[in-house]
């Protein structure tokens, strides 16, 4: 993820001269128009909290799975992976595998049990049988932390992306675009709630996957549908067979190899701990539909990453690494340049608009997750101590959306041009360290206690952030956040290899050392509910 | 704190007794005996692949068919295994888990409704 997003954010400050920005803006405007109509229609019956946070639990597994794919396939996945494969060859492919395999954790261990046990947020599940206040506060903090890091990276990425795709130049122009993205996102989320956001994701996912599919067919057709011939052309263009072999990017030194293991760990365990992904399991009526969602998402995401393999090598072969690197957007320009090569300004416009829509949709999904967590976990449960009404809670949620939206705009403008790759890496690492151990322990380990949960979440979050602060992404290298300083005592860019095992260990240690016992009745209830779906599926069975 | 009509069921259910019941123990065993080994297998296979890609460059670079090498083939096999495990889990759930879970759920909800 590191390189992918740094690539996006490193997108050059100048505008691309390829294609016609007005075509791009026109197609994007069309997307915004259509989705706004859909959001307005979808929002007409947003009455209860379940409507607002969970789309009334009315989505089918297929719809929700498509929306999950939409949430997951961010601009980094599309532009970043295609670019990474075009330039670094095989090592770019390694990302997509981590991103895909991670879904098995969600499918086998998390999705259905979570759907059966919770209502709206991750904290619902974590605090089910433990003490509400400490666990909810810790879970809300880590949810907000992951969302904010992810959000800032997306917003800052939006500025860089438009400079590449829409030809808007300069800091002022980019800031303006960030304001527009933020304002649009607030409108979507305020009006549409989870239902509207989900429909935006579905539309966007269909466009993205269809666009990638069409381009894949065109690339393969250019080489007589012979994959080996395509690889051969890529090697010829690159001038080295090394792009087919691993190691171009991560094989440089012992440290970089270790860094890759750390990244692989964070990727495979982070996905099932991402709060905006977890929240998607609540938008379906039953656990069986939650399963269907994940299955459908796995097929879509897997298929998409196979397309990017063809597109990446295709861009390498048809455009060439040198030309891609020299283009204004650097690595990220691989997919747009390939689109232009294959289908002229119209295909370029379509792909560009889809990439931009992707940021909008992902930001909306993150915002509603963060707002739900604040209103439901912090406000209703902790501040109002459970004495809030659903109306009051939703009012707080809506206000939180506006606050987060403004924060994202300001933060996004502030983070412009920064190396914000560490934000996304941190989001995955924090999700894997702070959230996943506690989720797995509370679902599968009877003796897990409140102290274990708090230690694991606080320890995982704290160690991940600390290690990032003292890593080369923060200081010590010319590409660091603070290039002048050097306090990088931790050599790896990704903290996962330390913080994830630490969080698991703390969860265990905190539990065995806990003198208080947890309510065995609650534990029994949670286990029976999680496996059978008692109560959670009432509305459907009767 | 309850904000919906959902999940409020359960006041009439003795969950502790249910947890110890033969039927539920059987369901838990059926669930865990599939998901745990499967999770271990795919994680081992994934990390074996990651380590090979990280430390066994020569091996991964061996050509198998045309320009397709071992690394690419193993990478594609990760896709195949992910799809395969997904399909296997769905089929297992439909056959073994869902009927057991539904039976317990129906019985408990009838209890709670009384």
Residue A421 has pLDDT above 70, yes or no: no
pLDDT bracket for residue A433 (50, 70, 90): very high
Nearest CA in chain A to B31: A531
Per-residue model confidence as pLDDT tens digits over A43-84: 777 777 778 888 878 899 999 999 999 988 877 677 788 888
- pLDDT surpassing 70 at residue B7: no
Is the pLDDT higher at B91 or at A327? B91
B51 contacts on A by Cβ (under 8 Å): 261
pLDDT given at position A14:
37
A308 interfaces chain B, CB cutoff of 8 Å = no
- Provide the chain A residues 265-304 that lie in CB contact (below 8 A) with chain B: 268, 288, 291, 294-295, 298-299, 302
Mean predicted confidence (pLDDT) in A390-406: 88
- In A80-131, which ranges are continuous DSSP H helix? 81-88, 90-105, 111-117, 122-126
pLDDT at B6 over 90: no
Closest Cα in chain A, distance from residue B75 (Å): 7
The answer on pLDDT for A237 being more than 50 is yes
Mean pLDDT, to the nearest integer, of A272-295? Answer: 91
Contact A302 B79 (CB under 8 A): yes
Are the CB atoms for A8 and A421 separated by under 8 Å? no
Yes or no, beta carbons of B38 and A247 under 8 Å apart: no
**Which position has the higher pLDDT, A168 or A445?**
A445
B108 CB neighbours in chain A (<8 A) are: 528, 532, 534
Lookup result for tokens 């929240």: A279
Contact map slice: B 10-29 vs A, CB within 8 A:
10, 13, 15-16, 18-19, 24, 27-28
Closest among A140, A129, A130, A103 to A457, alpha carbons compared:
A140
Average pLDDT on B50-59 reads 92
- pLDDT of A195 > 60? The answer is yes
Q: How far is the C-alpha of B73 from the C-alpha of B69, rounded, in Å?
A: 6
Choose from A144-148, A278-282, A326-330, A504-508 the range with maximum mean pLDDT: A504-508
Task: Select from B17, B26, B67 the residue whose CB has the most chain A CBs within 10 Å, as the one to mutate to test that interface.
Answer: B67
CB contact under 8 A, A244 and B108: no
How far apart (Å, rounded) are the C-alpha atoms in residues A430 and A461? 6
Range with the lowest mean pLDDT among A244-248, B8-12, B27-31?
A: B8-12
Give the three-state DSSP class for A480.
coil
* Count of other CB atoms within 10 angstroms of residue A509: 15
DSSP-derived secondary structure for A201-220: HHHHHHHHHHHHHHHHHHHH
Q: How many CB pairs under 8 A join A and B?
A: 192
CA distance B104 to chain A (A): 7
Q: Of A89, A92, A82, A90, which Cα lies nearest the Cα of A342? A: A82
| Half-sphere exposure at residue B97, Cβ-oriented, CA atoms within 13 angstroms | 25
pLDDT at B1: 36
Q: Is the pLDDT of residue A31 over 60?
A: yes
User: What pLDDT was estimated at residue B4?
Assistant: 38
CB contact under 8 A, A244 and B8: no
Tell me the C-alpha distance between A32 and A54, whole Å: 23
Query: How close A251 gets to chain B, by Cα (Å)?
Result: 7
A529 lies within 8 A of chain B by CB: yes
A219 touches A318 (CB < 8 A): yes
- A478 or B50: which leads in pLDDT: B50
Q: What is the rounded average pLDDT of the residues A369-395?
A: 85
Q: Where are the domains of chain B?
A: 20-113
pLDDT surpasses 80 at B97: yes
Phi, psi of A10, deg, nearest 5:
-80, -5
The DSSP secondary structure of A50-72, one letter per residue, reads HHHHHGGG---HHHHHHHHHHHH
Which of B35, B57, B75 is nearest residue A251 as measured by Cβ atoms? B57
CATH number for region A2-534: 1.20.1730.10
At residue A495, does pLDDT exceed 50?
Answer: yes
pLDDT surpassing 80 at residue A450: yes
Query: In this complex, is the C-beta atom of B1 within 8 Å of any C-beta atom belonging to chain A?
Result: yes
The ranges assigned to domains in chain A are 2-534
Pure H helices in chain B: 15-20, 22-55, 57-60, 70-92, 98-113
Of the candidates A296, A312, A166, the residue with the CA atom closest to the CA atom of residue A231: A312
Residue carrying the six token digits 């494969």: A85
* Per-residue confidence (pLDDT) for residue A1, from 0 to 100: 39
Residue A15, pLDDT > 80, answer: no
Q: With a CB-CB cutoff of 8 Å, which residues 229-268 of chain A face chain B? A: 229, 231-232, 235, 244-247, 250-251, 257, 260-261, 264, 268
Q: Give A473's pLDDT tier (boundaries 50, 70, 90).
A: confident
Res. B9 pLDDT band, cuts 50 70 90 = low
Q: How far apart are CA A190 and CA A196, in angstroms?
A: 9
Which is more confidently placed, A144 or B110?
A144
Phi, psi at residue B64, to the nearest 5°?
A: -110, -50
Residue A167's Cβ-side half-sphere holds a number of Cα atoms within 13 Å equal to: 12
pLDDT computed for residue A297 by the predictor: 95
Q: Which of A160, A186, A178, A104 is nearest to A366 (CA)?
A: A186
Any A CB within 8 A of B86 CB:
yes
* A49, A257, A376: residue with CB nearest B55: A257
Identify all chain B residues contacting A527, using CB atoms and an 8 Å cutoff: 19, 28
Q: Would you say residue A132 has pLDDT above 90? A: no
Residue A340 has pLDDT above 60, yes or no: yes
pLDDT band of residue A25 (cuts 50, 70, 90) is confident
Say how many residues make up chain A.
542
For chain A, how are helix, strand and coil distributed in percent, rounded to 5?
Answer: 80, 0, 20
Q: pLDDT band at residue A422, thresholds of 50, 70 and 90?
A: low
B51: nearest CA partner in chain A: A261
Q: With a cut of 70, say whether residue A425 has pLDDT above it.
A: no
Residue A401: band (very low, low, confident or very high) from pLDDT cuts 50, 70, 90: very high
The minimum CA-CA distance between A386 and chain B, rounded to whole Å, is 4
Q: How high is the mean pLDDT of chain A?
A: 85
Please state the rounded mean pLDDT for residues A150-175.
74
Q: How many alpha carbons lie under 13 Å from residue A508 in its C-beta half-sphere?
A: 6
Identify the pLDDT of residue A358: 81
A358-377 average pLDDT score: 88
Q: What average pLDDT does this structure show over B28-45? A: 96
Token look-up 């495979």 returns A268
What pLDDT score was predicted for residue B49? Answer: 95
pLDDT of residue A3: 43
d(CA B93, CA B87): 10
Long-range contacts of A481-490 (CB under 8 A, 24+ apart): A481/A418, A481/A419, A481/A422
Average pLDDT value over all residues in chain B: 87
């Amino acid at each position: 993820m590191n390189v992918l997003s740094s690539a996006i954010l490193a997108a050059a400050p100048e505008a691309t001269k390829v294609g016609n920005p007005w075509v791009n803006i026109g197609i994007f405007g069309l997307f915004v128009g259509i989705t706004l109509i859909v959001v307005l229609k979808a929002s007409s019956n947003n009455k209860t909290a379940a409507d607002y946070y969970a789309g009334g639990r009315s989505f089918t597994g297929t719809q929700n799975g498509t929306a999950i794919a939409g949430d997951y396939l961010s601009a980094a996945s599309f532009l970043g992976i295609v670019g990474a494969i075009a330039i670094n060859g095989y090592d770019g492919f390694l990302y997509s595998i981590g991103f895909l395999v991670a879904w098995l954790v969600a499918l086998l261990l998390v999705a259905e049990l979570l759907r059966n046990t919770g209502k709206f947020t991750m904290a619902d599940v974590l605090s089910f049988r433990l003490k509400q206040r400490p666990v909810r506060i810790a879970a809300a903090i880590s949810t907000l932390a992951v969302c904010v890091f992810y959000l800032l990276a997306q917003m800052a990425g939006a500025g860089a992306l438009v400079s590449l795709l829409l030809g808007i130049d300069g800091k002022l122009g980019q800031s303006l675009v960030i304001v527009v993205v933020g304002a649009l996102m607030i409108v979507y989320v305020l009006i549409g709630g989870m239902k509207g956001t989900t429909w935006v994701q579905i539309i966007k996912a269909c466009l993205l996957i269809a666009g990638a599919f069409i381009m894949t067919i065109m690339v393969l057709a250019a080489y007589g549908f012979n994959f080996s011939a395509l690889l051969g052309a890529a090697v010829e263009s690159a001038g080295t067979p090394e792009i087919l072999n691993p190691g171009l990017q991560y094989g440089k030194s012992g440290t970089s190899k270790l860094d890759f293991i750390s990244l692989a760990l964070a990727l495979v365990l982070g996905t099932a701990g991402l709060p905006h992904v977890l929240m998607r399991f609540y938008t379906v009526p039953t656990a069986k539909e939650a399963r269907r969602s994940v299955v459908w998402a796995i097929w879509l995401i897997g298929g998409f990453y196979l397309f990017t393999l063809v597109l990446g090598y295709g861009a390498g072969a048809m455009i060439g690494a040198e030309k891609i690197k020299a283009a204004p957007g650097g690595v990220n320009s691989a997919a747009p340049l390939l689109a232009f090569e294959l289908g002229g300004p119209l295909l370029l416009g379509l792909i560009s608009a889809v990439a931009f829509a992707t940021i909008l949709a992902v930001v909306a999904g993150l915002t509603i997750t963060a707002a739900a967590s604040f209103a439901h976990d912090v406000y209703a449960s902790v501040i109002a101590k459970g004495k809030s009404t659903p109306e009051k809670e939703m009012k707080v949620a809506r206000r939180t959306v506006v606050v987060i939206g403004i924060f994202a705009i300001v933060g996004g403008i502030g983070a412009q041009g920064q190396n914000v790759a560490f934000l996304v890496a941190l989001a995955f690492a924090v999700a894997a360290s702070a959230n996943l151990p506690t989720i797995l322990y509370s679902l599968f380990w009877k003796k897990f206690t409140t102290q274990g949960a708090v230690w694991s979440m606080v320890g995982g979050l704290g160690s991940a952030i600390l290690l990032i602060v003292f890593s080369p992404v923060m200081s010590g290298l010319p590409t660091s956040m603070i290039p002048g300083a050097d306090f990088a005592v931790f050599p790896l860019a990704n903290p996962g290899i330390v913080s994830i095992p630490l969080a698991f260990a703390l969860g265990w240690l905190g539990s065995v050392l806990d003198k208080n016992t947890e309510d065995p009745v609650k534990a029994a209830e949670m286990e029976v509910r999680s496996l059978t779906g008692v109560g959670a599926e009432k509305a459907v069975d009767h | 704190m309850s904000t919906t009509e959902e999940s409020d069921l359960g006041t009439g259910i003795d969950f502790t007794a249910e947890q110890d019941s033969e039927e539920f123990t059987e369901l838990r065993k059926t669930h865990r005996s599939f998901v745990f080994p499967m999770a271990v297998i795919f994680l081992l296979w994934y990390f074996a692949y990651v380590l090979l890609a990280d430390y066994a460059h020569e091996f991964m670079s061996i050509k198998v068919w045309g320009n397709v090498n071992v690394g690419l083939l193993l990478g594609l096999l990760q896709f195949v295994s992910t799809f395969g495990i997904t399909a296997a889990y769905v089929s297992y759930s439909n056959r073994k888990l869902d009927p057991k879970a539904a039976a317990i759920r129906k019985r408990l909800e009838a209890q709670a409704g009384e």
